[in-house]
Structure 1
Amino acid sequence: MDEPMMGARKGGPLIVTMGDPAGVGPEVIAKGWDVLRTERQSVLKPAPLPFVVLGDAAILARQGLPVETVIAPSDAFSVFNRAIPVMDLPAPTPVLAGQPDPRNSPAVADWIERAVDMCMSGEGSGVVTAPIAKAPMYAAGFRFPGHTEFIAELTAEMPFVGTRGPVMMLTAQDLRACLVTIHVPIDQLPELVTFERVTRITRVVHEAMKRDFGIAKPRLALAGLNPHAGEGGSIGLQEVEILYPAAAQLRGEGIDITDPLPADTLFHEDARKRYDAHICLYHDQALIPVKTLDFWGGVNATLGLPIVRTSPDHGTGFDIAGKGIARADSFIAAVKLASEMAAKRATR
């Protein structure tokens, strides 16, 4: 058996879930492994943690790279340099690339649940989830909006010190954009952007910057909801009635956060240098700057959980699945971010 590669440390590897097996998940995992195993052998770069895949080994083997079935997550440390370590949990129904089948959705959910269990038991240092598709999952009885809410429920009984999330954070280059609301219609924002929600989300982000990123005194920017941050109430009252009081309350708790700022001037290069994270109020306010900065390499991370969880910031890609053209940039970035967050937690 090979010796663990340079960079291996105490604690478990990352646990990667295959996502929908008919999507691009298997392809980006395989391509990502091929890049990351090389980086782990380099003395010039920080070594990301190895990972073990939970999913169907036969589907992963179709990607044309070596695959090795393992028994325990810890086997990844000795296998990762020569093959993709996978704990084989076959899909119950034959998988055709680009053609999702709801009959495989219970297996997809099981892979996620097992991965979370492994991290809660200490066998894994964090979870990296390949994309799932909502329609086949819902058809099979899945009752959660997505990974974020499912993993939050799975970890709900696990002890956690601090303000519990989940909070969705999207990263690209030097931008960390954290969402107050996620997939909601624009006309519902006025009733969902509340004092309580804004202050709770901000506490989660503030604590996560310390715990997961090692930033002793996080600097947070709060985006306004209306154009020009409302211009003193002349273009909407949410800033005056909710956001200014929320920011004042948070500063009274010792959190360094701005008053609401116009979102159109919040994400350029000089502005990004002034803040460690941005509190964004709705989906496109965060996602547009993230995907403009790095369309291929953005990462979705969940803050405020007892475990580390990241994911590529893209979907299942059924239209390109099986064609060999999916890019692994986002998956690679998700593995690296999960490794960094796990390392910060290990030192606390």
Structure 2
Amino acid sequence: MSDIIGITMGDPVGVGPEIIIRTLADMSDTDRARTRIYGNLATLEAAKAAIGKDVDLDGMVENIDFPGAPLPWGVLSPVAGDAAFRFIEKAVRDAEAGKIGCVVTAPINKEALNAAGHHYDGHTGMLTALTGSKTAFMLLASEKLKVIHVSTHVSLQDAIRRCTPERVFATICAGNEHLKRLGIENPRIAVAGINPHCGEQGLFGTDDDINIRPAVAKAQETGINVQGPISADTVYYRAYSGAFDLVIAQYHDQGHIPIKLVAFDTAVNVSVGLPIDRTSVDHGTAFDIAGKGIANHENMLSAIAYARKLATMGKNA
């Protein structure tokens, strides 16, 4: 497996290009030699000018042209949405071919992506389709709290419908395998309930008893060290305090809110269950500050560090 990581530029009118340039400026020569950028050279040069960093990009960029490059910063555009898709598509194909060991994605804009005719709910759905996978899971990783989601970019009503025993069980298994790959021999996993107090014996709903408890029991039967459902109003505090290595969140906000509270600038978004590895920043395109040279690249540094770890470990058999 290659130890080269491939960074996709994200939406070319967002903050992706400038956080990439800042990150490259902070890299050692050795790490730059193990990095490839999937983006647009003219846009990256514009980002260099915007932040006042003179980074040598010679030989590092898989240049993908698009009309009007560089486009005006912060202006939503279907052209930019299409370019963001093509950066990712090329990186995925190179990852599948073993040319890079992990894909690191800068932020995309879902509105621009869909306006360009690429109808995905975000990176995870796009990567699932591009790799021909049946499903994938979003894991958010920080130093003291890790969360993997049963569902992500769907309405709350749809999230409740997707909380099936089969999906919860699959999420537990995916999270367990990922943590074991990271070197945790017997991951301690907690499954968050979906209703207040896990339904309080049916007073506040039966979803936890019907859909979550059977999945936890099945996972325990396979030898996974998992508990739940545990009331979501306490489980994250317990995990953050060291009682669990991973929390299974039932829907997007249930997992994202605690992570963004404790690790807003450093949490890494990881796609689990794909045939390729992918990490990402856990923030958006920030059109309002794009091109102003003030975007913080700390999250990108964290995503790259996680990617390098995965690239050196290889995929599970």
Query: Normalising by structure 1, what TM-score?
Result: 0.84
Aligned with residue 187 of structure 1, among 157, 176, 179: 157
User: In 1, Cα distance between the equivalents of 2:27 and 2:189?
Assistant: 32
User: In 2, Cα distance between the equivalents of 1:35 and 1:50?
Assistant: 14
Cα RMSD between the aligned structures?
2.1
User: In 2, Cα distance between the equivalents of 1:249 and 1:114?
Assistant: 39
Aligned to 1:175: 145
Aligned to 2:128: 152
- On the 8 A contact 1:300/1:311 being kept in 2, the answer is yes
Aligned with residue 24 of structure 2, among 33, 39, 52: 33
- On the 8 A contact 2:189/2:225 being kept in 1, the answer is yes
Aligned to 1:130: 106
- On the 8 A contact 2:148/2:255 being kept in 1, the answer is yes
User: In 1, Cα distance between the equivalents of 2:94 and 2:239?
Assistant: 41
Q: Deviations over 1:75-118 (max 9, x none)?
A: xxxxxxxxxx2222223223111113212333221111110111
Aligned with residue 294 of structure 2, among 325, 330, 333: 325
Aligned to 1:310: 279
- On the 8 A contact 1:228/1:262 being kept in 2, the answer is yes
- On the 8 A contact 2:23/2:297 being kept in 1, the answer is yes
Once the two structures are TM-superposed, the CA of residue 210 in structure 1 deviates from its matched residue by 1.9
- CA distance 1:36–1:293, change in 2 (3 Å): farther
Once the two structures are TM-superposed, the CA of residue 334 in structure 1 deviates from its matched residue by 0.5
Aligned to 2:62: 87
- On the 8 A contact 1:36/1:332 being kept in 2, the answer is no
User: In 1, Cα distance between the equivalents of 2:246 and 2:135?
Assistant: 16
Gaps of 5+ in 1: 1-9, 41-46, 71-84, 158-163
Q: Deviations over 1:311-344 (max 9, x none)?
A: 1000111000011110001111100111112222
Once the two structures are TM-superposed, the CA of residue 184 in structure 1 deviates from its matched residue by 2.1
- CA distance 1:267–1:196, change in 2 (3 Å): same
Aligned to 2:174: 204
Q: Is 2:304 aligned against 1:335?
A: yes
- On the 8 A contact 2:239/2:247 being kept in 1, the answer is no
- CA distance 1:347–1:181, change in 2 (3 Å): closer
Deviates more, 1:61-70 or 1:289-298: 61-70
Aligned with residue 50 of structure 1, among 30, 34, 37: 34
- On the 8 A contact 2:268/2:299 being kept in 1, the answer is yes
User: In 1, Cα distance between the equivalents of 2:14 and 2:291?
Assistant: 8
Aligned to 2:15: 24
Work out the number of aligned pairs and report it: 311
Q: Secondary structure at the match of 2:265?
A: coil
Deviates more, 1:278-287 or 1:106-115: 106-115
Amino acid at match of 2:41: A
Deviates more, 1:267-276 or 1:336-345: 267-276
Once the two structures are TM-superposed, the CA of residue 37 in structure 1 deviates from its matched residue by 2.6
Matches within 5 A, 1:247-266: 247-266=216-235
Amino acid at match of 1:151: L
Q: Is 2:6 aligned against 1:15?
A: yes
Amino acid at match of 1:181: S
Q: Deviations over 1:38-70 (max 9, x none)?
A: 8x6xxxxxx798321111112112223223232
Gaps of 5+ in 2: none
Amino acid at match of 1:189: A
User: In 2, Cα distance between the equivalents of 1:148 and 1:284?
Assistant: 16
- CA distance 1:270–1:21, change in 2 (3 Å): closer
Deviates more, 1:213-222 or 1:337-346: 337-346
- On the 8 A contact 1:179/1:279 being kept in 2, the answer is yes
Once the two structures are TM-superposed, the CA of residue 123 in structure 1 deviates from its matched residue by 0.8
Q: What is the aligned-residue identity percentage?
A: 35
Deviates more, 1:301-310 or 1:49-58: 49-58
Q: Secondary structure at the match of 1:69?
A: coil
User: In 1, Cα distance between the equivalents of 2:180 and 2:274?
Assistant: 14
User: In 2, Cα distance between the equivalents of 1:271 and 1:316?
Assistant: 28
Q: Deviations over 1:146-193 (max 9, x none)?
A: 111111122227xxxxxx641001122221110101122223333221
